[in-house]
Structure 1
Amino acid sequence: MSVGKRATGGFQPLAEINVTPLVDVMLVLLIIFMVTAPMMAAGMKVDLPQAHSAKPLNPKEPVVITIAKGGKLMLNADEVPLDRLVDAVRAKVNGDLAHVIHLRGDKDAAIGDMVALMDRLSSHGLTHIAILSKREAPAKEAKGAGK
């Protein structure tokens, strides 16, 4: 910190920020990250062969079955009766039994209806079923709970 002369004869400190140490630290960190970044790359480098007849993969549209509180079933956006559900799902997955089926159920739907639906699908070879849920933010701790 430097001091300067005041017009009245006293001394007053000069408030100046010295950014040189900050710049030095940032440059050192930049060099460290530049040196270590190539070492952090996972995997092995390979030279991939060219395939002239290769086509890009189309992402699979998910098959979503929704069961409502009253037992009403929806396949994607279409309402489907329970007796025709398996055939409709098979038509959507085009015979791919490894295709994942997303099962959404209302929180007030009977668990028995969901289990029966999963049993019906798995008995027909559709065993890759994922149950979807809504993720909620974690509850905040109550302030002053321990007081």
Structure 2
Amino acid sequence: MAASIKDDDDGDEMSEINVTPFIDVMLVLLIVFMIAAPLSTVDVPVNLPGSSAPPQERPEEPVWLSLGADGVLSLGNDPVELAALAAALEARTGGDRTTAIFLRGDRDIPYGELMTVLDGLRNAGYLKVALVGLESVGTEGGAAP
């Protein structure tokens, strides 16, 4: 008895192209480009500086100036008015205008309020201002005091 092998392919070439994987790949690429295209455009040209400076040591008793989300300005733990900021800093630093001021601003405050505080520091003669942020985990040189 002879065994016969059934061949579904009768030797003709398949004339159909399975385009489903091709369409899937194209749709994924379309989504990637739709997301990436707006991120790659820049409306305002900015030449950002690079920094390879190591994290700086903070003084033993830093002067902390904080601007909370509610707009309250605090020198250390004491609230202070912007008009009285120069006198409060003079009393805290002993009149030494070369003292670095560590400015902490809440992420939800408007940029204009932060600039008003920076202008107040400049008008008071304190030009060494360190902006304090969160230290990024896993990055080199991203340390904040």
What do the CA deviations read for 1:74-94 (whole angstroms, capped 9, x no partner)?
110111122111210111110
Partner of residue 63, structure 1: 63
> Does residue 1:99 correspond to 2:99, yes or no?
yes
Report the residue type matching 2:121 in the other structure. Answer: L
Aligned to 2:124: 124
Q: Which amino acid aligns with 2:125?
A: G
Secondary structure of 1:74's aligned partner: strand
Following superposition, the deviation at residue 122 of structure 1 comes to 0.6
Q: TM-score, normalised by structure 2?
A: 0.52
CA shift, 1:136, in A, is: 2.7
Counterpart CA distance in 1 for 2:119 and 2:95 is: 19
- Distance in 2 (CA, whole Å) between partners of 1:135 and 1:91 is 30
Gaps of 5+ in 2: 1-58, 140-145
Identity of aligned residues (%): 32
RMSD (CA atoms)? 1.7
Deviation per CA, 1:82-132: give whole Å up to 9, x if none. 211121011111011100000000011111111111111112211111100
Q: Larger strand proportion, structure 1 or 2?
A: 1
Question: C-alpha displacement at 1:60, in angstroms?
Answer: 5.0
Which aligned runs of 4 or more in structure 1 are off by greater than 3 angstroms?
A: none
